[in-house]
Amino acid sequence: MVTWNLIMLIALLGAAAIGASFSRELPPLTPSALVNALTGLFGPSINLSLFFLRDLFVSTAIIVLTWRYIRDYLWVALGVVFVVTIFKLTDPIIFRPTILLFMLAGCTLRAQHIPLSSLAKPPVFFFGILGSGTVLLACHYLLETHGGPVSDIQNIARRGMLVFAVIAVAVLIGHSKRLQAFFDHLEPVAFLAYLSHALLAKLIWIAMAPLGLSLMGPSYLFYFFMAPMLMFALVFPLHALINALRMPLPIFLQGKSAKKPKKNRSEPMLGFRLR
């Protein structure tokens, strides 16, 4: 995270030097502002998409440090975190409290021995989507007269729908050997793609600018659908280049390589058996 924030900062400085626009303002050149730009310690980092990792790390630390005290009262803890989330009481410790909320929800399911794949079963999936959608729709109309927590409840409902949808798609992928093989091929570069996607997207936008791209025009749709494919196409040679560097540079740039699972592993993370 820090490495790619630094790369983004250098890219912004370079763009400013040549008069190019990265649609991102440089932070004040003060020690505290630069530290925050790299770490997201006090607010959004220079690479906004990586600010998620900061809250993810803090949320993980909170759960680990408090686990022995909350593991017997997880539903109570979940309720407390829900209230804290909708009233935005976590700043400046956590800037996106929904991360802590959904992580704790996952821990609660795990502690109850409920596999995530069960959320994709037709009855659970149907009522999950229906319930989240109903709350989302109700909040949409309430926002016309109410603010505050309503918008945060709406955000939670929206993310809840996404959770059910993503898990359902993951289960479907788990039952297709071809799809599994495709995503297994992407797995070695997936984290690097996340770390570098904001910078690569901006570079692709600059490279495609001569085509007459406009944020408000139909040409943006072309960029919207092409950019992810181009980013993954660029990440593979970038991954190979990084691996050719001397240690510990590859670790700083893309983290440690994940250990390959054993061939006889029969229980994937989502709880369904491989066939």
Condensed to tens digits (0 to 9), the pLDDT of residues 72-85 reads 999 999 999 999 99
Q: Which pLDDT band holds residue 45 (cuts at 50, 70, 90)?
A: confident
pTM exceeds 0.75: yes
Q: Given pLDDT bands bounded at 50, 70 and 90, which one contains residue 160?
A: very high
In this prediction, residue 21 carries a pLDDT of 67
What value does the mean pLDDT of the chain take? 83
Share of the chain above pLDDT 90, in %: 26
Average pLDDT on 63-69 reads 92
How many CB atoms sit inside 10 A of residue 113's CB? 7
The whole-number average pLDDT for the span 159-167 is 92
Rounded CA-CA distance 204/195 in Å is: 16
Spatial separation of the C-alpha atoms in residues 154 and 161, rounded to whole Å: 11
How large is the C-alpha radius of gyration of the chain?
21
The pLDDT of residue 75 is 92
197 Cβ partners below 8 Å, 6+ apart?
49, 231
SS3 labels along the chain: CHHHHHHHHHHHHHHHHHCCCCCCCCCCCCHHHHHHHHHCCCCCCCCHHHHHHHHHHHHHHHHHHHHHHHCCCHHHHHHHHHHHHHCCCCCCCCCCHHHHHHHHHHHHHHHCCCCHHHHHCHHHHHHHHHHHHHHHHHHHHHCCCCCCHHHHHHHHHHHHHHHHHHHHHHHHHHCCHHHHHHHHHHHHHHHHHHHHHHHHHHHHHHHHHHHCCCCCCCHHHHHHHHHHHHHHHHHHHHHHHHHCCCCCHHHHHHCCCCCCCCCCCCCCCCCCCCC
CA distance 58 to 103: 11
